[in-house]
Homo-oligomer: A and B are copies of this chain.
Amino acid sequence: MSRRGLLAAPLLASPALLVRPAAAQSPQPATPAPASAPPAGEPLIVRKQVFDAGEYRTRGGGTVPNARIGYQTAGTLNQAGDNAVLITHFFSANSHAFGRYAANGPAGYWDNIIGPGKAIDTNRFFVVSSDTLVNLNLNDATTTSTGPAALDPSTGRPFALNYPVVSMRDFIEVQKRLLDSLGVKRLALAAGPSMGALQAIEWACAYPEMVERVMPAVGTGEFDAFLIGWMELWESPIRMDPNWRNGDYYGQGREPPTRGLAEALKIVTLQARDRGAMAQFGRRPVEGQDPARKITDQFAVERFLDEAATARAKTADANAFIYLTRANQLFLHEYPDTAAALSRSQARWLVLPAPGDRVFPISYNVDLVEALRKAGRPVEMVELQGGLGHLEGVASMNKAEPAIRRFLGT
């Protein structure tokens, strides 16, 4: 999703947050991705590919029989294998961070800073972006991910809640296998917005010798009780939906908990925005309604939230939502505390918070910078200014372009 699309298009057409639009995307293009950079001004075409990670033993001791994730790349890996960049995606996104799957298709969510000649220059870097495990977009043709809807070979039925818990660290471990398979030896940069920031940080702590730079946008260095509690609130409407049946809703003749999932996505949608992003709705009622006279009548913003989330819920999976919130709750879970985790990092850091971020308030980023300084790590913080809150981490990355170029130039 381009900045243009996010900011200029009617919000109803680009419903979500850090919720990817439900708009259909072309599946894999018939023509292979070009090996060399496209001519200036031409869109970067990328190809969605699939990586088979094989059997994967989770950090919590569970077994994923056949872990598969989708990914995409741009640019060329050098001989030393050390010009790679890993882009990690936000809660409701997939690997589509840059480029287009077809010339007239939508651009990736960070396409304004990734591409030939852009801040993260694909003429210089080999840029990789992958789907995570338990990706939300179960019914999206451009997403490949193994999660609770996968078949359990021991029963022949979907795992549902028997799927093993996966943590943020598990995301990283599967990405590590992908990078190994591609010949990547070292990451010049690990970066992403929101949950993508958490993955980038987890990378810097798990494989400090491999990560040269980290750029977490609208993220946090700590998942404390307050944030753990918010994840619980996010998933609560799913558990309220009678169709959820403790996760056992897959299969013919069963209705998935689409309403609960939509209500969950409503929370995410609004919390990922600040007041400026909603100002267009003002205090207008839905046309023909009067909330001052009828309790069931609505304001326009309520209708927007309903419609956007309901559309988005169609391509998403409720159990995946629950596994994703848990993966977030398990951020840096294997370390005694954030300071201990960050002290392992050998990277340079560029931290990009947004004032008015209601998902990961800016105070968490101030703490992250302080913890990095205490650990003796070089760190710069640049605020993504604007009225959109958390959404700035996708919509406004171009505001950080000079800082990113400086960061990558050093």
Contact = CB atoms under 8 A, between A and B. Distances in A.
A225 B282 CA distance: 5
Contacts of A224: 275, 278-279, 282-283
Interface stretch (A176-184, A231-239, A372-380): A231-239
B226 A275 contact: yes
B59 A292 contact: yes
Nearest to A163: B295
Given A223-B283, A233-B266, A237-B236, A329 B228 contact: no
B323 A295 contact: yes
Contacts of A29: none
A117 interface: no
Given A233-B267, A237-B236, A275-B363, A161 B296 contact: yes
Contacts of A291: 165, 326, 329-330
Interface residues of A, number: 63
Interface string A376-410: 00000000000000000000000000000000000
Contacts of A237: 236-237, 240, 263
25 contacts: A60-B292, A161-B296, A163-B295, A165-B294, A224-B279, A225-B275, A225-B279, A225-B299, A226-B274, A226-B277, A228-B299, A232-B298, A232-B299, A233-B270, A236-B263, A240-B241, A240-B263, A275-B363, A291-B326, A291-B329, A291-B330, A295-B326, A299-B329, A358-B358, A358-B361
Given A165-B293, A226-B279, 16 more contacts: A60-B292, A62-B293, A161-B296, A165-B294, A226-B270, A226-B273, A226-B278, A228-B301, A229-B302, A230-B270, A232-B301, A232-B302, A236-B263, A240-B240, A356-B363, A358-B358
